[in-house]
Amino acid sequence: MHQLQSAPRPLPTVDAISRVAQRPADDEVCELCGAGISQRHPHLLDPAAQDIICACAVCATLFAERAGARFKRVPDLARRLDDFRLTDAEWDGLHVPAGLAFFVRRSATGDVRAIYPGPNGPIEVLPPLAAWHAILVNNPSLDSLQPDVEALVLSRVDRSNGERRMSLVAPIDACHRLVDMLRTHWRGPNGGANAWMHIDGFFADLAGLVHPARA
């Protein structure tokens, strides 16, 4: 396994989302044209720089929905994976030593990155491609996973009040808001009760933006 970062310093992609997540709600402007925008607005991703920017609806269409565009539009909705299949052995094969992680494929390199919480901050690794491909074979619904802008979110955490296993496809901006939350609240190897209170709240909010995945 090739670990891209083991130190607690922020990941570059996490920094990009942190700027979005921490911007005051009353200071929202389109970063392309400067027009004022509402708190709920489109996000665009620059895959080369791994930077996410806020955009108005006009710029989101103009700059992302054309051939050769520099930006990709980040989807607005998550997708629930009701029939997702993943054995414990397949999870172990991903070499992610945590019960909560998200996986995103980079179009520029073709590799898959896993980001998960560590005791000293978020950690990014490259899971073995063979293990990832085995999951794709068993879950055809992942064929529609969009590189760069969507991620597979998996939780296989055993909690004292019950097992919390979930699987969904979420927009990349939501995933990195989750990372920003983990960086703020996660303590020790298991996160702690305060971190899980925030994680549960995050997924409860995200559930309002979920529709079933296509078969």
**pLDDT string in tens for the chain (215-residue length):** 333 333 333 344 444 444 444 554 456 899 999 999 988 899 999 998 888 999 999 999 888 877 778 899 999 888 888 889 999 899 999 999 888 899 999 988 889 999 988 777 788 999 999 999 999 999 998 988 999 999 999 988 765 554 567 888 999 999 888 888 888 888 877 778 888 888 888 887 776 666 544 43
Asked if residue 150 lies in contact with residue 109, where contact means CB atoms within 8 angstroms, the answer is no
* Pair (97, 153) in one structural domain: yes
Q: How confident is the model at residue 136, as a pLDDT?
A: 93
Q: How confident is the model at residue 6, as a pLDDT?
A: 33
For residue 73, the tally of other CB atoms under 10 A from its CB is: 19
Tell me, yes or no, whether 3 lies in a domain.
Answer: no
CA dihedral 142, 163, 199, 213 (to 10 degrees): 20
* Pair (125, 170) in one structural domain: yes
Q: How confident is the model at residue 114, as a pLDDT?
A: 94
* H-helix segments, 55-192: 57-64, 88-93, 129-138, 172-185
Place of tokens 């895959």: 47
- Among 26, 45, 73, the domain-final residue is 73
* Pair (35, 82) in one structural domain: no
* Pair (69, 81) in one structural domain: no
* Pair (59, 20) in one structural domain: yes
Domain count within the chain: 2
- Among 73, 101, 116, the domain-final residue is 73
Tell me, yes or no, whether 191 lies in a domain.
Answer: yes
**DSSP class of 68:** T
* Pair (143, 187) in one structural domain: yes
Tell me, yes or no, whether 89 lies in a domain.
Answer: yes
* Pair (52, 95) in one structural domain: no
How far is Cα of residue 214 from the mean position of the Cα atoms in its chain?
19
Domain that holds residue 19: 12-73
> How crowded is the C-beta side of 8, counted as CA atoms within 13 Å?
10
* Pair (44, 119) in one structural domain: no
* Pair (57, 111) in one structural domain: no
pTM: 0.79
Q: How confident is the model at residue 209, as a pLDDT?
A: 61
Which residues, including other chains, have CB under 8 Å from residue 112's CB and lie 6 or more apart? 103, 104, 105, 106, 126, 127, 129, 132
Tell me, yes or no, whether 5 lies in a domain.
Answer: no
Q: How confident is the model at residue 73, as a pLDDT?
A: 94
Q: How confident is the model at residue 8, as a pLDDT?
A: 32
* Pair (84, 160) in one structural domain: yes
Q: How confident is the model at residue 11, as a pLDDT?
A: 43
Tell me, yes or no, whether 4 lies in a domain.
Answer: no
List, for residues 91-106, the tens digit of each pLDDT value. Answer: 999 999 888 899 999 9
Name the token pair of 125.
Answer: 């690794």
Q: How confident is the model at residue 112, as a pLDDT?
A: 93
Tell me, yes or no, whether 179 lies in a domain.
Answer: yes
- Among 20, 55, 73, the domain-final residue is 73
